[in-house]
Every structure is written in C-alpha cells, then in structure tokens.
C-alpha cells in the first residue's frame, strides 16, 4: 500500500523511541536478550534485529541497564556455579546477559588465562589428556573434535601444536593406518560391494581407506566408474 507508515501508525500506537523502549524494558525487569525476545510479541516491542539497527544501539548491557562484569568477577561466578566446560558455560551465559556468551569475546579479554584457569579446572598435561581420551574410547580425530568442547579438552589445532605431539595414531593408541596402493584399494572396495562414491565415503572411517580428496589426487585415478568397476 502506498500509504503504509508502519505498525505503530497503522494501529494507533505511540511511536516508541529508543530511550522510551529502554525505560519500558528495564521497568518490567528484562535481564537478558532471550528474556527480551520472549516478550517482543506480547509487548509490541521491536524484534532484536530491528532493535540493533537503531542508531542509538550500543550493546545489550547498555540497553538492559546492566553493569559490565569484570573478568575476575566473571571467573569467580563461574567457579561458584561449578561450571567445568565451555558447553556448560554457554548454556548459563544464554540466560545471564552479564556473561559474554561467545568464546571469541572471552578470549579477547586482556586478563584471559585459558579455559583451565577460567573454569578452575586442573591443568591437563599431554599425558593426562591422552589417558582421558583413551578412557572414553575416542578413536579418530573427528571423534576427538566432536567431544572436545563438552570435556574441556584442547581444540585439535591446540593439541597438534603441543611439543609432545607424535601424531593421531600414537595419541589415540591405535594401529597405524594401512598404506594402500591404488590397486589394493580397488580390489578391497570391490570385494565388499561398494558401488557408489557415497557408500565409499560412509565406509572409509571403519575401513581405514583414504579420504575421497586423497583418493582423487592419486596419479592412477581415472574416475569413479573405473575405480568402482561400473560400466559407463
């Protein structure tokens, strides 16, 4: 409609400025972005996306009237809450706007000391980490990556730059992967009836076959039809 002037004008509502909205939000005790989002429809407030586009917007803490928390106070609160992993921290941070929810924001704090000190955990040596990983049955780098956040382990990148690092096979206490020749691999996949690239990819972790990208870079590679023994 050419006459459209927005919902406030259309519904005859008072047009709410940023400062009026801020006062209204603080008056009803909204204390987190999630709390604000859950009240948007009932109160007729702008969505978070619209709110953040307002020229006066600075941050959630400023908007909600919450004092910025210091690193030391945050660390103390985390210890008191018994939080021992980033996943646990993130869940609590979603409900507490004083706490930065982003790991990137935390690591940018000048006092940042690493996750172990921040969470009050025992600093895990390489050998202790190796034992912990073995105890829970981790068998691959992907498995490790998926389990690292909830267990508070170093990222794959941090792990592989430790001075004790000797490779995934030794770290995971597993037999080294077989070095496949192209012909050996071709015979092996045909023996178990692999007829598609998708099936090859799905069976690769359990069979110890080369990844698809590695396979395609082999000098003998001529395409999936030749490799799988399919008729063109």
What's the confidence (pLDDT) of residue 25? 93
Task: State residue 94's pLDDT score.
Answer: 83
Residue 73's pLDDT is 94
Q: Residue 148 domain-assigned?
A: yes
Which structural domain range is residue 29 located in? Answer: 7-64
The Cα–Cα gap between 144 and 132 comes to 11
How does DSSP classify residue 65? T
What is the tens place of the pLDDT at every residue in 188-204? Answer: 999 999 999 999 998 88
What are the residue ranges in the chain where pLDDT is below 50?
Answer: none
Q: What is the pLDDT of residue 37?
A: 93
What pTM value is reported for the model? 0.43
Looking at residue 111, what is its pLDDT?
93
- Whether 2 is in a domain gets the answer no
Q: Looking at the structure, do residues 30 and 13 belong to the same domain, yes or no?
A: yes
Q: What is the pLDDT of residue 2?
A: 65
Domain assignment present for 45:
yes
Q: How many residues does the chain have?
A: 232
pLDDT reported for residue 128: 93
Which pLDDT belongs to residue 8? 65
CB atoms within 10 A of CB 194: 20
Which of 22, 46, 64 represents a domain boundary (last residue)? 64
Q: What is the 3-state secondary structure (H, E, C) of 185-215?
A: HHHHHHHCCCCCHHHHHHHHHHHCCCCHHHH
Residue with tokens 């507490």: 96
Q: What's the structural domain count of the chain? A: 4
- The pLDDT of residue 7 is 66
Residue 27 lies in a domain: yes
């Amino acid at each position: 409609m050419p006459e459209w002037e927005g919902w406030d004008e259309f519904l005859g509502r008072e047009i709410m400025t940023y400062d009026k909205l801020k006062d209204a939000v603080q008056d009803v005790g909204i204390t987190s972005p999630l709390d604000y989002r859950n009240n948007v429809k009932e109160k007729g407030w702008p969505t978070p996306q619209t709110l953040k586009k307002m020229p006066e917007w600075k941050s959630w803490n400023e908007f909600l009237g919450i004092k910025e928390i210091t690193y030391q106070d945050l660390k103390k609160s985390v210890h008191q809450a018994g939080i021992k992993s980033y996943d646990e921290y993130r869940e609590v941070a979603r409900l507490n706007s004083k706490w930065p929810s982003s790991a990137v924001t935390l690591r940018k704090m000048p006092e940042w000391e690493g996750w172990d000190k921040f969470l009050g955990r025992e600093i895990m040596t390489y050998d202790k980490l190796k034992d912990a990983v073995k105890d829970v049955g981790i068998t691959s780098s992907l498995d490790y990556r998926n389990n690292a956040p909830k267990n508070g382990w170093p990222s794959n990148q941090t792990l592989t730059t430790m001075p004790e690092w000797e490779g995934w096979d030794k770290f995971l206490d597993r037999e080294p992967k077989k070095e496949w020749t192209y012909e050996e691999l071709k015979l092996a996949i045909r023996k178990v009836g692999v007829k598609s690239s998708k099936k090859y990819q799905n069976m690769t972790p359990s069979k110890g076959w080369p990844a698809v990208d590695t396979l395609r870079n082999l000098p003998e590679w001529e395409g999936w039809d030749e490799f799988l023994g399919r008729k063109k």
